Amino acid sequence: MAKRLLGRCRLGIVLLPFLFLLLGCNKDMLTYPVRIDFGIGINQQSAQQVYVSLSEAVVGVGSIGFVGLRQVGEGVYFDTQAGVEHGTYVIAAGDSAKYVTFFDIPQGVYDLMSWKLTLAEIDDDVYEDELVDSDDYGLLVKGAYTSIGGQQRPIYFLVNPMEVFSCEATGAAGLLPISIVDGNSYTLLLKLNPMEAIAGINRDYFENATVSISDDGIEHIVVSSVDNTSIHQFFLFQLAKTLRATVK
């Protein structure tokens, strides 16, 4: 009888450390960092209107924030350092998305992945426009407006630095949850669609827009928080609704 008890005790002594090790590994698995590349793109397609054509967009990327809620494990939260910029990106019509940076995020099954982007001033060493002071803004969308009478003028949609855009991400198929697993590579693509934003604005606003004239006599339309403010308010509101974040 004593030998049996001794055998069981020895078995327990062997199993307990293994059990503690196993539990520790399961907990550690929830902290495994998985790289997610962060990119930004501009969708310049719309089926609704043809009187505005876009040629390029310029984005100054400031701070980036993230909120993630997992089915198992603690929530994940971070904001990059305020004031630290992630560069200026020029995206011409038809260009693919631009790589910005990457983040290490704990693996898990995410029921929520929310991303936040704060604009920064456009770097004039990267992009400088001949008609507007691009470095006063965080987002510049450039194109041309053709009036009902057939006259075409350059048009600029300008958004101030420190403007914040945010949305919840989905998987490649547009579904949740999103599984982030160690050993795999992932890309988060944040995409705005200025064409869709413009399509939601009544054309009368463009027909009655104030026209600016450069020192060289070039007529152009500026849509900003100072010029043509009604169009700007509609544009900003609609643009925020077009934001999409996809993890694939």
What confidence tens digit (pLDDT) does each residue in 82-125 have? 777 899 999 998 899 999 999 999 999 999 999 999 999 999 99
Tokens of 58: 């310029």
Helix (H, G, I), strand (E, B) or coil at 86: coil
Could you read off the pLDDT of 127-145 as tens digits, one per residue? 999 999 999 999 999 999 9
In DSSP notation, 198-236 reads: HHTS-HHHHHTPPEEE-TT--EEEEESSSSSHHHHHHHH
Point out the residues of the chain with pLDDT beneath 50: 1-25
Please list the residues that pair with 169 across neighbouring strands.
245
Residue spans of the domains in the chain: they are 1-30, 35-247
CA distances from 23 to 17, 18, 20, 30, 110 (A): 10, 9, 5, 11, 22
Nearest 5°: phi and psi at 23? -60, -40
Residue 4 has, within 13 A of its CA and on its CB side, a CA count of: 1
What local confidence, expressed as pLDDT, does residue 2 receive?
A: 39
Token pair 């075409």 in the structure block, residue: 152
Nearest 5°: phi and psi at 207? -65, -30
Token pair 């606003």 in the structure block, residue: 205
What local confidence, expressed as pLDDT, does residue 47 receive?
A: 57
In 3D space, the residue among 161, 154, 163, 164 whose CA is nearest the CA of residue 223 turns out to be: 154
Residue 203 has, within 13 A of its CA and on its CB side, a CA count of: 10
